[in-house]
Structure 1
Amino acid sequence: MAGDQQQQAEARAADPLHIVVFPWLAFGHLLAFLELAKRLAARGHAVTFLSTPRNVARLPPVPTALSGRVRTVALPLPPVEGLPDGAESSADVPREKADLLKLAFDGLAAPFADFLAAACARDRSKDGRLEGFEKRPDWIVVDFAHHWLCPIADQHQVPCAMFSIVLATTIAYNGSRRENAEHPRVTVDDFMPMPRWFPSPSSSSLAYRRHEAAWKAALFRPNASGVSDMERIWRTEQRCRLLAFRGCPEVEPGVFPLLAELFRKPAVPAGLLLPEAGDARGGGGRGTDDGSEEEVARHGALRWLDQQPSRSVLYVALGTEAPVTAASVHELALGLELSGVRFLWALRAPSANAAGTPLLPEGFEARTRGRGAVCAGWVPQVRVLAHAAVGAFLTHCGWGSVAESLRFGLPLVMLPFVVDQGLVARIMAERGVGVEVARRDGDGWFGRDDVAAAVRRVMVDDEGKKTLALNATRLQELVVGEDGGRQERYVDELVECLRRHGSTGTL
């Protein structure tokens, strides 16, 4: 009897899983979850990717070899008064209405319940082994905002895992509900240093600036959706069997055991989900933000880079949702001009910028013509980061962008704004791979001279340039591993953890 049970357990372990992944409605989240879905599908598992119709339509294509194991299912987003028509992602709404999107997102509970009931209602075949999408879901991988989902999953006995795309240190900084009750933080000053539950002595540099802490404190207060972001995280975490993170111990040593202690459940690194290597410094790397081969080949940014000397160009990109203002765009532009370096700028219009208002200072493009290129709209970022002409990356320190840059060993000029970006910048500065643009205490204002000084330290000053480049290369080697497969092994370990703690497993 014991032998039969062992054989059955081994057979279950060999079965491909059916995993449902359901990200929050923001492109950084959608792309990271898609990257995880691709990694799971490459290991033979079936992945159902849930989102809303417009977001599903905007997803990059899955590689042909994986397309049979990744399917998308669109859930209709209910209308909410005040939310613009057709708004289905945070990129579609101004920041002051972002919480209304969370209210609409909560309205997905009913269509999700219908989806899951149908997915779990299928009868087993005669031999009891349905596969792929015919199999009832083994796991649902959720994001921070899904506080309503886990009770629905519990009704069908489908376990949930929470996948965090931000820096794991940020989740540890947020802390558990229990730790926050024991050590309450009330004022903005309370949110600046690392909290008491961090191991002592924690690095004094790992702290939020005042303007960052003010944004962080707001996450703990109810918003227009009726539920604070931290309440969403805590309710979701409470009902999940395990926590997974886009991260690895090589970048954040010691944080994963701390997370397991704080939340009293497995805290598993899923790896950095790095872009494929391709011809890494020759322009062959690809990632989820890249379009088709034809789109990439035609893109003017890559053709312009082909004409530039090796490691001479600063790539500038502040993501899709950093709270950039027209004034900060002007200061950044004038700082790039003052620095004297070559640059390629993926420029996004600030959400508050009035239609027809010039984004750049008058005469800027004429004065920098020949050494600078500004690209409005989509840019194949992974290909750009991989290009041999790119020597450094000026970034808002979104964790996804920084993780991509680590794949190619690029030093950083860092201009963080919100979320985990400040802590990402502090950690990268500690590792000696980046220089942060100086900001004014209190409101976080920066000027053109601050930008130019940071850029020159990374791209011009001989001693600093060499040291930063060397440190960036060493960190690249550390995260990739000697055989290039270190990050993929974290995905393997995540899959084993899902098997171990699945519907028949325990914590």
Structure 2
Amino acid sequence: MSTDSNDNLHLHILFFPLMAQGHMLPTLDMAKLLAARGVKSTIITTPLNAPLFTKAITDVNFQNSPSKIILRLVEFPTKQAGLPDGLENLDLVSGPDTHCKFFHALTLLKHTTEEILAELRPHAFIADTFFTWATDLASKFGIPRIVFHGTSFISMCCMESLERFQPYKSVDSDSEPFVLPGNLPDEIKLTRLQIPDHLRLGLVNDFTKLLESAREAGKRSYGMVVNSFYELEPAYADHYRKVLGKKAWHIGPVSLCNKNDSEKARRGKQAGIDEHECLKWLASKKPGSVVYMCFGTNASFSASQLREIATGLAASGQNFIWVVRKAKNNDGEEEWLPEGYEKRVEEKGLIIRGWAPQVLILDHEAVGGFVTHCGWNSVLEGVSAGLPMVTWPIFAEQFYNEKLITEVLRTGVTVGAKKWIRLVGDYVKSEQIERAVKEIMIGERSEEMRSRAKAVGEMARRAVEEGGSSYSDLGNLIQELKSGLS
């Protein structure tokens, strides 16, 4: 237990994460870290999202944690926003119309949140970046609003450069590389095809207005908590805080608060495989011989792309676990799976349909590489496990995170995705998949990447231990919030 825990028993922080797996899980981890330091946390969520939190919160509150985590439920305004009943999570959104309505629903939560703030009177409000009204609401109650974005320092620096200097307007074609200006620590090159579509196409709509409103509210907020650690991207942490002048605390990787197998296994949704069956399969493989492939909660590949993946994995000759979130067709068949595929690869491959206990798998000694979409939670989990990665960015900030892995840290290789496409990503051929998987799993270069990745993984674990950079920065945040109490 931290020495500062008893001093912080009166500190109470209110969290409101975006209703999406990739935002709720790190928020839960943050609350667990604060509870271990004696800070009381209340997390706001909706009834259908509550199960993601309840078991972990119950465990924390029944253990000898110096403080508690409380769950506060609010009704999600599905009807008012024109959404179908039961759609309370961004991961369930498929089309652009529903996407727009979902984010409109977030604006309707302001009044309910104001009532909770008036009732609970917390000392700080850590709200997701997409709750654009949170800064004004916190100001009304005289407390700091801290932003949680759920991304990396490098991606925030890249986004700032793109928005401020608009270098993509000075090239002649979508595929011509340009360097991100603004004195970034490294020469980061992108193409117009690799940046968000609203920038590339100059779109102005309700979502782009929301993004602008979120940026503006962020500038007026007290600061930002970042799920990263200083040793991972020191130059970008410095650039963000010193050059861009933004207040931020690095407190990650927050997923490392899940210490034992049972905590790792139940992190997130119900897994599509029994954890013991998964561990038994992994135990039958040699150390470092399995490549794990997963593309987060939002990617939606076509049947033909999944067949390319199946072919590439088999051709690589490597043991693999492949997580697939593809529904069966109307006839109850899986048209994406080549006929007889699972039988042919049963000695070498395990396909998990639906949700996988990712942290549990990545931390297993049999796993030697990770094929990832470069969502920040996944990147950090791969980094923490000390694994080389194949990068396959799809959309959001994933092309910036790819640069950190392949060019700054040099702990991975790109599969060759060249185009930012919301949810579905660029089409990648089986030969590219085969090449990239082999590159991180076998040969001299893979050993170099593995060695660097292991060193970074050790830094990650040290960062969250007492005296580590993230442990200390979380302590700095707690002390700063304490000093503001009257």
TM-score range relative to shorter protein = 0.7 to 0.9
Shift of 1:420: 2.1
Task: Give the Cα–Cα distance (whole angstroms) in 2 for the partners of residues 353 and 272 of structure 1.
Answer: 41
Question: Quick check: 445-454 or 319-328, which moved more?
Answer: 319-328
Aligned partner of 2:111 in structure 1 is: 110
Counterpart contact for 2:292–2:369, Cα < 8 Å: yes
Counterpart contact for 2:320–2:350, Cα < 8 Å: yes
Q: Does 1:74 align with 2:56?
A: no
Aligned partner of 2:387 in structure 1 is: 410
Matches within 5 A, 1:50-199: 50-59=44-53, 61-62=55-56, 64-66=59-61, 69-78=68-77, 79-80=79-80, 82-96=82-96, 97-119=98-120, 136-175=121-160, 180=163, 183-184=165-166, 187=169, 193=178, 195-199=180-184
Q: Does 1:490 align with 2:467?
A: no
Counterpart contact for 1:188–1:214, Cα < 8 Å: no
Shift of 1:265: 4.0
Q: Does 1:249 align with 2:230?
A: yes
Whose radius of gyration is greater, 1 or 2?
Answer: 1
SS of the residue 1:256 aligns to: helix
Task: Give the Cα–Cα distance (whole angstroms) in 2 for the partners of residues 154 and 295 of structure 1.
Answer: 43
Counterpart contact for 1:219–1:229, Cα < 8 Å: no
Aligned partner of 1:319 in structure 2 is: 296
Counterpart contact for 1:207–1:423, Cα < 8 Å: no
Deviations 1:187-236 (A, max 9, x none): 4959964532233xx433x33344321436269844345x5343133132
Aligned partner of 1:473 in structure 2 is: 454
Deviations 1:32-62 (A, max 9, x none): 1111111001111100001122112333622
Task: Give the Cα–Cα distance (whole angstroms) in 2 for the partners of residues 394 and 362 of structure 1.
Answer: 24
Shift of 1:452: 0.2
Aligned partner of 1:433 in structure 2 is: 411
Ranges in structure 1 where 5+ consecutive residues have no aligned partner: 1-9, 120-135
Task: Give the Cα–Cα distance (whole angstroms) in 2 for the partners of residues 14 and 278 of structure 1.
Answer: 23
Task: Give the Cα–Cα distance (whole angstroms) in 1 for the partners of residues 481 and 448 of structure 2.
Answer: 44
Aligned partner of 1:445 in structure 2 is: 427
The change in CA–CA distance for 1:408 and 1:369 in structure 2 (over 3 A counts) is: same
Counterpart contact for 1:144–1:232, Cα < 8 Å: no
Counterpart contact for 1:241–1:265, Cα < 8 Å: no
Aligned partner of 2:335 in structure 1 is: 358
The change in CA–CA distance for 1:423 and 1:45 in structure 2 (over 3 A counts) is: same
Aligned partner of 2:11 in structure 1 is: 17
Task: Give the Cα–Cα distance (whole angstroms) in 1 for the partners of residues 48 and 412 of structure 2.
Answer: 37
Task: Give the Cα–Cα distance (whole angstroms) in 1 for the partners of residues 128 and 403 of structure 2.
Answer: 25
Task: Give the Cα–Cα distance (whole angstroms) in 2 for the partners of residues 13 and 163 of structure 1.
Answer: 25
Counterpart contact for 1:80–1:100, Cα < 8 Å: no
Aligned partner of 1:347 in structure 2 is: 324
Counterpart contact for 1:139–1:502, Cα < 8 Å: no
Deviations 1:344-389 (A, max 9, x none): 1121117999975523223322221211111112221111111121
Counterpart contact for 2:14–2:126, Cα < 8 Å: yes
Counterpart contact for 2:386–2:453, Cα < 8 Å: yes
The change in CA–CA distance for 1:427 and 1:326 in structure 2 (over 3 A counts) is: same
Task: Give the Cα–Cα distance (whole angstroms) in 1 for the partners of residues 447 and 56 of structure 2.
Answer: 38
Task: Give the Cα–Cα distance (whole angstroms) in 2 for the partners of residues 108 and 48 of structure 1.
Answer: 16
How many residue pairs align between the two structures?
Answer: 468
Percent identity reads: 25
Task: Give the Cα–Cα distance (whole angstroms) in 2 for the partners of residues 340 and 118 of structure 1.
Answer: 59
- Amino acid of the structure 1 residue aligned with 2:122: P
Task: Give the Cα–Cα distance (whole angstroms) in 1 for the partners of residues 243 and 205 of structure 2.
Answer: 26
Aligned partner of 1:122 in structure 2 is: none
Counterpart contact for 1:21–1:47, Cα < 8 Å: yes
Task: Give the Cα–Cα distance (whole angstroms) in 1 for the partners of residues 60 and 215 of structure 2.
Answer: 37
- Amino acid of the structure 1 residue aligned with 2:427: W
Shift of 1:263: 5.3
2:374 to 392, 397, 404: 397
Matches within 5 A, 1:282-361: 286=264, 289=267, 298-349=275-326, 356-361=333-338
